[in-house]
Amino acid sequence: MSKSGGGGGAGGGSGGLTWVTLFDNQNASKKEETESNNKNDSSKKMSVERVYQKKTQLEHILLRPDTYIGSVETVTQSMWVYDEDVGMNCRDITYVPGLYKIFDEILVNAADNKQRDKNMNCIKISIDPDSNIISIWNNGKGIPVVEHKVEKMYVPALIFGQLLTSSNYDDEEKKVTGGRNGYGAKLCNIFSTKFTVETACKEYKHSFKQTWTNNMLKTTEPKIKHFDGDDYTCITFQPDLAKFQMEKLDKDTVALLTRRAYDIAGSCKGVKVLLNGKKLPVNGFRSYVDLYVKDRLDETGVALKVIHEVANERWDVCLTLSEKGFQQISFVNSIATTKGGRHVDYVVDQIVSKLIEVVKKKNKAGVSVKPFQVKNHVWVFVNCLIENPTFDSQTKENMTLQPKGFGSKCQLSEKFSKAASNCGIVESILNWVKFKAQTQLNKKCSSVKHSKIKGIPKLDDANDAGGKHSLDCTLILTEGDSAKSLAVSGLGVIGRDRYGVFPLRGKILNVREASHKQIMENAEINNIIKIVGLQYKKSYDDNESLKTLRYGKIMIMTDQDQDGSHIKGLLINFFHHNWPSLLKHSFLEEFITPIVKATKNKQELSFYSIPEFEEWKKQTENQKLWKIKYYKGLGTSTSKEAKEYFADMDRHRIIFRYAGPEDDAAITLAFSKKKVDDRKEWLTNFMEDRRQRRLHGLPEQFLYGTATKHLTYNDFINKELILFSNSDNERSIPSLVDGLKPGQRKVLFTCFKKKKK
């Protein structure tokens, strides 16, 4: 147990009392080796006087330093430091938190003086590792060189040599300084072998100098001199390295203390900072932030963009993209709050709330984005002045004061919010969302090749699918159940070992523009992936990866009308968007069937496109002698015809062949939302070309001649799919003449006709 007292002093120290047990003392010092022979246990029984002891406050601080200055053991952790050859650098360092703290107390005291004296404009810091001497000087208002009437000693001696003395005890007075509890500089004195205070005050026309040694236990008499120059205060000390288990100020420690010098240069407005005689190249907070972000690039190789706003005289905020999770560099009254606190939350919450609105509007992946996930892409810098701040420990790394007590507000402007949404953070979040969506899709795909799969209705699986001959297997995707019946009838001719059939329920999703949620929940797409054995994470560049598939080819079997062309296009788009390499392996095929048949006696002609049939009509005399049959869809064909089609596989199977980048461009043109304007031009050119051909009596182009065995994706898009796109416009866009669409016109016609009857 412990009990603390206050006041008093010995040799400039404190007479405060603290009860401690000998067990505490034993934990603080090295244990002596125990005797090997424990003969008289009773003789070792401790007396009450040895168990319970009284300590002065100074002795207690030395005995329990972690309570006041943090650990005096070396720790290794990642910290921002300033390395001469690199600049601001986040790396693993080994340092002693307690030593860092006593230096910081003196440094923050110097920065605090700027709040007391607006004319202060310079802080000089000297760090000499060889002699183990550190000094911090400022030209702000000096400490009153006058004797304290109650304590009967000079004020500088009182505030630097007596514990629990402070000018910050009046909580009614609103101050924006770092000091608060009355320990501060005295802790530096206690943990130094030598500690010297020099100050001069023009108001009192005197200068003061006094030195303490031996952990504030001994002191010299103060030297008071007449003075009429400019005010200043200088603290020079030699840390007691033995207390920190150190032999000298090492490179890591000096780099950390140097960073704090840069911190003050950036956070203390209107103050130039000199380190070891050289002015630091920092002019304000924005300049300081550049030390962190200079030469840093985002994931696209572009330099990080910093958004800066001075909300008011007490709040300075900078924002940029973080690629290492949430990062913050913050200061409260020049104290480096390395763990953040409520001042950082106050600013970040505003930023995140604005960013998440933008992300939700732009997020097409369908993945839910939460505030903490947005925060993970934010790197914020906050420099603020808070009235009477509170912290969770004497080390002051985390500021705990509620926002209502800040004494000021930081309302970020709309200009800042707009700039924040264009600095790369939103793009980074969307990329992360896309990656997460892809990961979720990958999880839905089995990485194991199965010879048999269950749970997919209406699938007629090939016998060899998923086996050693899987690359030779073809999955026929049909437009509906009636088309499946036709395909199944045809399989009676070629067998079911290498051919499977699966009916599509209408048109599949345009995955290029679909959300992640839509894709995840789309049963049709998920079934195709499962049947074929596809995996989103694979690219299928080589033959080895192709061997993991259950089917080596996809054959698309749709009606020969324009909607059938659209289904083919959507399937091509699906594979091109997710696995473009498959298109280069001739993975896709189509199965064509006649759209018109002409018969005369025993002669039969099949036509696979209307333009081809129209051209035949022009060149054929006595057309009326021919019997013409139009096939509305695959369901019109009989089982007998199906077997005829499959028996002549070479005529009806058309292989899609990849011809190069023009194929990629054509597919993207047809299905990408970003190509709207290009599609308008594409369709306009098509209509003009068709008009010119008709004007000059030229036949329309068609793809499926008797010699056609292969087809490029570019030809399919520009000669077949474009017919659907044009027809879709004609069906969907009202006419300039009557404001009606064809479907509406047909409804009106039917109504008028019925009325006449």
CA gap 187, 244 in Å, rounded: 13
Nearest to 328 by CA among 312, 316, 314, 344: 344
Residue 505 dihedral angles phi and psi, to the nearest 5°: -95, 80
Question: Of all residues in the chain, what percent carry a pLDDT higher than 90?
Answer: 62
Decide if pLDDT at 42 tops 50: no
Decide if pLDDT at 362 tops 90: no
According to DSSP, the β-strands at 588-591 and 307-312 are unpaired
**Greater confidence, 691 or 757?**
691
Decide if pLDDT at 319 tops 80: yes
* Confidence band, pLDDT 50/70/90 cuts, at residue 365: low
Decide if pLDDT at 23 tops 50: no
Q: Burial of 169 by CB count in 10 Å (0-12 exposed, 13-18 middle, 19+ buried)?
A: exposed
Decide if pLDDT at 373 tops 60: yes
Note the helical H segments in 409-535.
Answer: 414-420, 425-444, 480-494, 516-521, 523-532
* Confidence band, pLDDT 50/70/90 cuts, at residue 57: confident
- What region, left, alpha or beta, does residue 724 occupy, with left being phi > 0 and alpha being psi -120 to 50 degrees? alpha
pLDDT in tens, 473-490: 999 999 999 899 999 999
Q: Give the pLDDT of residue 347.
A: 97
According to DSSP, the β-strands at 596-600 and 627-630 are antiparallel
Q: Give the pLDDT of residue 461.
A: 95
Q: Give the pLDDT of residue 444.
A: 66
Q: Give the pLDDT of residue 643.
A: 94
Per-residue pLDDT, averaged over 278-296, amounts to 94
Domains by residue range for the chain, with CATH = 75-283 (3.30.565.10), 294-437 (3.30.230.10), 445-593+633-756 (3.40.50.670), 594-630 (3.30.1490)
Decide if pLDDT at 469 tops 80: yes
Nearest to 122 by CA among 5, 330, 273: 273
CA gap 145, 143 in Å, rounded: 6
Per-residue pLDDT, averaged over 59-78, amounts to 91
**Greater confidence, 60 or 129?**
129
Decide if pLDDT at 107 tops 50: yes
Structure token pair of residue 17? 């009392």
* Confidence band, pLDDT 50/70/90 cuts, at residue 402: very high
Mean pLDDT comparison of 156-170, 265-279, 624-638, highest-scoring range: 265-279
Per-residue pLDDT, averaged over 218-233, amounts to 94
Which residues, listed in sequence order, are joined to residue 499 by a DSSP beta bridge?
Answer: 474
Structure token pair of residue 61? 């601080």
pLDDT in tens, 727-737: 888 888 888 88
Q: Give the pLDDT of residue 19.
A: 43
**Helix%, strand%, coil% for the chain, nearest 5:** 40, 20, 40
Decide if pLDDT at 618 tops 60: yes
pLDDT in tens, 495-515: 999 999 999 988 899 999 887
Q: Give the pLDDT of residue 46.
A: 65
Mean pLDDT value across the chain: 87
The number of residues in the chain equals 757
Structure token pair of residue 357? 């609105």
Nearest to 489 by CA among 645, 652, 642: 642
Note the helical H segments in 363-464.
Answer: 371-375, 414-420, 425-444
Q: Which of 3-7, 91-95, 166-170 has the lowest mean pLDDT?
A: 3-7
Q: Give the pLDDT of residue 608.
A: 86
CA gap 504, 94 in Å, rounded: 64
* Residue 518 CA neighbour count, 13 Å, CB half: 11
Q: Give the pLDDT of residue 114.
A: 93
Per-residue pLDDT, averaged over 203-220, amounts to 95
pLDDT in tens, 661-671: 999 999 999 99
Tell me which H or E stretch contains 589: strand 588-591
Question: Of all residues in the chain, what percent carry a pLDDT higher than 70?
Answer: 90
Decide if pLDDT at 168 tops 70: no
Q: Are 275 and 265 in contact (CB under 8 A)?
A: no
* Confidence band, pLDDT 50/70/90 cuts, at residue 537: confident
Tell me which H or E stretch contains 216: none
* Residue 545 CA neighbour count, 13 Å, CB half: 13
